[in-house]
Amino acid sequence: MKRIVSLLVMLTAVLALSACNMPFMSSENELDLETKTVKLVKEVQRGDYDVVTTAELKKWIDEGRSMLIVDTMPYEASYKKNHIPGAAQFLFPIPDMNEWDMKETGDKSQAEFEAMLGPDKDRVLVFYCGFVKCTRSHNGAAWARKLGYTNVYRHPGGIRAWIEAGYPVDSIK
């Protein structure tokens, strides 16, 4: 029930904010915004996880909240260059991954994923990728839920929203 209420609140907020913009001032039309919003809501419903905004995630980090943040993008092409400070990396594909496919996860097994997440099924887990349209984070969050983790979140804005907010990033030299 909490997830349904969260989804409805998120959808209402997006639609309310979009209504505040004058159509001639927006670079995106309402039909496109609606399509993207509904796609995200359906992914969240299908994956049975929750969402966290960029500002909320930053607040959680600043408060020292105990959690694991997982970057689901390729190591060399993305994670190595920019990632949220403290984030672990585990590759997931963009299309839905309904069955575990090691070719799509950088040759890592389901057991390796579960070992990274840890034994505490109530641990807060946050998955992100590049941006809202990217569904790698959906796959990571959905698989965490399939494995029985209960406090699973997707940060849909991903690293792009994080950087746009002016928050710090880490990189690996």
The residue out of 15, 32, 47 marking a domain boundary is: 47
Amino acid at 55: A
Is the model's pLDDT at 166 over the cut of 90? yes
Kind of pairing between the strands at 88-89 and 68-71: parallel
Residues 43 and 56 in one domain: no
Number of folded domains in the chain? 2
Domain interval for residue 150:
49-173
The CATH number of whichever domain residue 125 belongs to comes to 3.40.250.10
Q: What per-residue confidence (pLDDT) applies to 26?
A: 53
pLDDT, mean over the chain: 88
Give the pLDDT of residue 7.
46
Highest mean pLDDT among 18-22, 34-38, 139-143: 139-143
Same domain, 67 and 123: yes
In this structure, are residues 144 and 88 in contact, taking their beta carbons and an 8 Å threshold? no
Question: What b/e string do you get for 19-35 counting C-beta neighbours within 10 Å, with b at 16 or more?
Answer: eeeeeeeeeeeeeebee
Q: Extract the tokens encoding 28.
A: 């995106």
The reply to whether 95 and 165 lie within a common domain is yes
pLDDT digits (tens, 9 = 90+) for 99-137: 999 999 999 999 999 999 999 999 999 999 999 888 999
By the 8 A CB rule, do 124 and 57 touch?
Answer: no
Report the candidate in 90, 48, 100, 99 with the shortest Cα–Cα distance to residue 70.
Answer: 90
If asked whether residues 95 and 23 sit together in one domain, one would say no
pLDDT at 162 > cutoff 70: yes
Same domain as 92, residue 132: yes
State the DSSP code for 50.
Answer: E
Express as a percent the part of the chain with pLDDT over 70.
84
pLDDT of residue 12: 43
Do 76 and 100 lie in a common domain? yes
pLDDT(29) > 90: no
Q: Hey, how many other C-beta atoms are within 10 angstroms of the C-beta on 166?
A: 7
Q: In terms of domains, do 22 and 88 share one?
A: no
Choose between 151 and 20: higher pLDDT.
Answer: 151
29 and 93 share one domain: no
